[in-house]
Structure 1
Amino acid sequence: MAASDLPVANGKIYHLNIAPEQLASDIIIVGDPDRVTIIADEYLVTREHEAFHRGLRTITGTTREGLRVSVVTSGMGTPSLEIVLGEIVALNEIDFATMTRKPHHDKINIIRVGTSGGLQSQTRLGTPILTAYAVGLDNTGLFYDADYPDPGCLAIEKAIRQAIDGAVRSTRFKGTIHPYVSRADPAVVEAMEESARERHVTVKKGITVSSAGFFCNQGRDIARVPPSIPDVDAVLGSIGDLHEGLRVENMEMESSFLLHFMTALGYGAGAICPAIANRKQETFTASYVQNVKDATEVALAALMKLRR
């Protein structure tokens, strides 16, 4: 493998600035580097390594329950996430001494804990949304030619594409926005559902939309440039049941590529993101610390279950 394809310096991968042995096989991934510190302070009883480089923080340690876990920053959006996940996989699969792929590697389980906007009017602020499927309105996943993991992905993709094509203005971009659909690992979803029940945390399971931006990409029309898809949040939230009773529940910026990439590699991936805004009700809360804490505890307990 060429040095220009996978930059490594002093035995450490370039952007995360960590060595393979400094990354755990169980990972909580978050967008905000400060949230890495908050989670580590709350849940890790030991810390074996901490790194901060180019805005990306990684802390690896052990929980009270004995789970070795890394808490890693993804940054905002799928382009940044692509870099981080690419390096996580390389740390697990590439022998840095020879720059060749290892004949065997560990199973990674990774869960995103983040925040999101709820798209259904009945969703209470702070409710953690468990992602079963994710719709990518970014184009990062389009550069990784992964197969559909199940027929549901294809069915959801067709329905979303039809809704978007019907909602795009008659502009230069009509017919050019191509959603892709990915699936969370069912075992990860089941483990999080069980963990939520055990902790009496009420969650909603559904379909998550990952956008390439925060404002116009998610229906926030605040600029003087008109949107290509007016009220895209309302368009997607109103579609109805798409697969096995699931609806589009929330919007954020990362889950689509996380599930698309990691599932294609055979790793376990999932996402749990409290809805801190209700787009239908036009409400928002800045008091969501406990909701993120609940989601983190569900995710950590799920990772523990998956290792048993």
Structure 2
Amino acid sequence: MSDEPDSPPCPVPALAEADLPIDANGRIYHLQITPEQLAPDILLVGDPGRAEFIARSFLRDLEVEREHRGLVTATGTYYATGDRATIISPVRATVATSGMGTPSLEIVVNELVALNEIDFATRKPKPLFPRLHIIRVGTSGGLQASTRLGTSIITTYALGMDNTGLFYETPCPDQTCARLERELAAVVEKAARPDSRFRGKIHSYVSRAEPAVVRALTQAAKNLGVAAKAGLTVSNSGFFASQGRDISRLRPSAPDLDRVFSEFDPGLGEQRVENMEMEASFLLHFLGGLGHWAGAICPAIANRRDNTFDHEYLAAIEGATRTALAALAALTTSRDFAL
């Protein structure tokens, strides 16, 4: 052992203005809110109109409601009503728009985390900050014929067919993720056209929803009488070819991916690959890697096996929203500080 005294820790440099743009009013660039205007309990939705609907229908005492570049962000208080509700105290919550797809979501969740973790006065990381609880409430296409339209799918694992998560290094949260990544590499390669220039180049990454969030969503759905089931979610890089829709004059490199995933057995008991959407993979990958808790609940408003569509899907979205808010309320009792 050395007798030399320990060296003082190196000072943490401030984040550059080009890396973290903050305006003259102390607001982050895209969301245009300040750190004080963010609650640690967050609902994330793709549609800005849905963010406005949730803010005005479910939140009271609105502290802020901001729209910038198509991104709506609002913070207020949720008060549970109804005989079947199990919430004891009000919950301060933020609802934010993620936009469509993981590239847009990557911007939004980075800013949400920065608002929570960075001291905007010094532009340096805070030594301590609360763990975020973020739940995505979206819509999705159901992949199993046995899943009724309007059923809320509670994501356990997300199969990322986008590539946004590949730019953020974090280990697999468990062996199931590592196994599924290996198995899906072979499944997707087999699904590709033999003559495709991209055969063997399309790889998925697998992320896991925080188990405590899955349990809270499952219990909240049961308490509220919302039809829900847990299963795996495919997050695609787009809406058409990557989800098995062939409407362009260009051939898809991997046809019928919706059927391919519906037939895949993930080896998780009764769980199946239940739905397709475009955001859950990166949300779970990024936030899980940082020690924050994330989950997703997305009603199946179309059934890809039956080619049916739920024209009354707004009722299903409302049920999923109530479920997510109830789950956030239950999770506040176990909030800790993120690592």
3-state SS of 1:8 partner? coil
- Give distance in 2, aligned partners of 1:272 and 1:178: 24
Deviation at 1:169, TM superposition (A): 1.1
Structure 1 residue aligned with 2:59, among 40, 44, 49?
A: 44
Percentage identity across paired residues of the two chains: 56
**Pairing partner for 1:266 from 291, 305, 323:** 291
1:207 to 229, 232, 246: 232
> Which residue does 2:32 correspond to in 1?
17
Within 5 Å, give how 1:1-308 maps onto structure 2: 1-10=15-24, 11-65=26-80, 66-170=90-194, 171-308=196-333
The answer to whether the 8 A contact 1:113-1:299 is kept is yes
CA shift for structure 1 position 245? 3.3
Structure 1 residue 286, shift from structure 2 partner: 2.5
Aligned-residue offset at 1:244: 3.9
Amino acid at match of 1:169: R
Q: How many pairs were matched up?
A: 308
Deviation at 1:74, TM superposition (A): 0.1
Secondary structure in 2 aligned to 1:169? coil
Amino acid corresponding to residue 63 of structure 2 in structure 1: E
- 1:242 is displaced (CA, Å) by 2.9
Partner of 2:5: none
SS of aligned partner of 1:133? strand
User: Cα offset for 1:243?
Assistant: 2.5
Q: What secondary structure, in the 3-state scheme, does the structure 1 residue paired with 2:189 have?
A: helix
* Alpha-carbon distance, 1:241 to partner: 3.9
Q: Deviations over 1:64-85 (max 9, x none)?
A: 1410000000000000000000
The CA deviation string for residues 13-42 of structure 1, in whole angstroms up to 9 with x for no partner, is 000011000010000000000001111121
CA distance in 1, matches of 2:193, 2:27: 47
In structure 1, runs of 5+ residues without a counterpart are none
* Shift in Å, 1:226: 0.2
Question: Per-residue displacement from partner, 1:74-130 (whole Å, max 9, x unpaired)?
Answer: 000000000000000000011111111110111100000000000001111111000
Letter in 1 for 2:70: G
Q: For the residues of structure 1 that align with 2:184 and 2:311, how far apart are their CA atoms? A: 30
- Per-residue CA deviations over 1:32-67 (Å, capped at 9, x if unaligned) read 000011111211121011110000000100011410
The answer on whether the counterparts of 1:128 and 1:274 sit within 8 Å (CA) in structure 2 is yes
Q: Give the match for residue 4 of structure 2.
A: none
Question: Which blocks of at least 5 consecutive residues in structure 2 are unaligned?
Answer: 1-14, 81-89, 334-339
**What is the root-mean-square deviation of aligned Cα atoms in Å?**
0.9
TM-score normalised by the chain length of structure 2? 0.89
Offset of residue 178 of structure 1: 1.1
Which residue type is aligned with residue 87 of structure 1?
A: E
The answer to whether the Cα contact below 8 Å between 2:180 and 2:266 also exists between their aligned partners in 1 is no
For normalisation by structure 1, the TM-score amounts to: 0.98
Does the residue aligned with 1:9 lie in a helix, a strand or coil?
Answer: coil
Counterpart Cα distance in 2 of 1:58 and 1:263? 22
**CA distance in 2: counterparts of 1:57 and 1:151, whole angstroms:** 37
Assess if the C-alpha contact under 8 Å between 1:136 and 1:209 holds in 2. Answer: yes
Residue 328 of structure 2 aligns to a residue whose secondary structure is helix
TM-fit CA distance, 1:246:
2.0
Q: Which residue matches 2:8? A: none
The structure 1 segments of at least 4 consecutive aligned residues displaced by more than 4 Å after TM superposition are none
Greater radius of gyration (CA) = 2
1:285 Cα deviation (Å)?
1.9
* Aligned-partner residue type, residue 326 of structure 2: A
